[in-house]
Every structure is written in structure tokens, then in C-alpha cells.
Chains A and B, each alone.
Chain A
């Protein structure tokens, strides 16, 4: 059990650029979640995968956001045409069914 791995740890980009983050869940965890956290707030749910199927997306997830989990293993979260308001910590979590979620170290996104 090597834990949830997220890359990159930090991403600095100019407004309008596209960015992609990767999450490798704990092996054998079939559930994978993406959350976003801004300063002074708790994490907010973005989207959820069970195996390769994306089963739920938050209203927070605008059309500029897309997530995939090909083959039910790692997941990617892409943000197109980044905006200042996208600056946040993007957290990935994984779990087995009916088990607590474990978080990765997160990717901190800064938009210049």
C-alpha cells in the first residue's frame, strides 16, 4: 500500500493555458474522487469514478473541467482555459466500497 499519488505537486501557469493533473489511487481501490480546496475552506467534491465509469459530477465542475479514468486505474483531471478562480489545491482520494477515503498529497495550482 503505497498511498494515493498525485502529480505534479505544484503547477504554475498563465491564465488561459490548459493544465492536466494525474492521480494514481491505492492499488485495488475501485473508487476514485476529485476534490478542490481553497484557503480556509474544506475540500469540495468535484467528481467520482467507480472503476472506469464517471458516476457523478458536481455543479462546480464547469465545461472547462474534464476527468477520465481509463481502464479503472489512474485518473486525470484537465482544466482548459484556466482562470484566476481555478487557483486551488486539487485533491484526489480513493477507497474501496464502504471504506473511508484516503487522500493524496494534492496538486497546488497557481494561475498567474
Chain B
């Protein structure tokens, strides 16, 4: 079992719709969770992070965390063509390094 799992997609949503991206993780001790956006050929860009159970909203983005179910999600409201990218879920492992373990990413396509 992979430590962080994401559906590779592509997830196709029409412009203006809500895109829902999901991620599950295996390490119950994980404490911090991140969503990075990565355009083709570019490096990951941090868009959201969440530490506590519940929802965290920032503009059109909402991150949701359920530690009991080991589940993290990202909602993108009013999806725009510029949101088309790969979204990487990352989990910060316990321990001193605070290294990130990434999923393989979900490719999102926002269609006109």
C-alpha cells in the first residue's frame, strides 16, 4: 500500500464548477497536510495546508481533513481554465525531519 494515494485522473470539470480532489494516507501519526499545484514542467507551488480536523478555506480553495478516516480533500470552487494542473497531496511525517511524502498527483482539466 502506498503511503499517500491519489487518483491520477484526469479529472475533468467544466468552467465554473466545483472540482473535488481526494487523498488518503496510511501513517496515522501524520500531523500536517499540504496541497501543491504543479503545472507541466514546473515545480510544485503550495496552495493550501491544514493541520486540524475540519475545513480550512482560502479564497476559492477549501481543504478538508478527517484524521479518523485518514482522508484529505481539496475543493476548488468556480474552477477556471488556469486551474488545470496536477494537484499533489503531501503528508508531513512524524519525526525530526518533517519530510514530505507525496502522492502521485491528480491531473485536473477545466474545460470551457
Contacts and interface: CB of A to CB of B under 8 A. Distances in A.
Q: Which label, helix, strand, loop or mixed, suits the secondary structure of the A interface?
A: strand
A105 B42 contact: yes
A50 B98 CA distance: 11
A28 interface: no
5 contacts: A45-B99, A48-B97, A56-B96, A56-B97, A97-B98
B72 interface: no
A91 B46 CA distance: 14
Given A31-B98, A55-B97, A102 B46 contact: yes
A25 interface: no
Contacts, number: 55
Counting contact residues on chain A (CB < 8 A from B), the size range is 20 to 34
A85 interface: no
A100 B44 contact: no
Interface residues of B, number: 22
Interface of B: 4, 8, 34, 36, 42-46, 49, 88, 90, 96-105
A43 B42 contact: no
A104 B43 contact: yes
A79 to B, nearest CB: 19
Contacts of A50: 96
A55 B104 contact: no
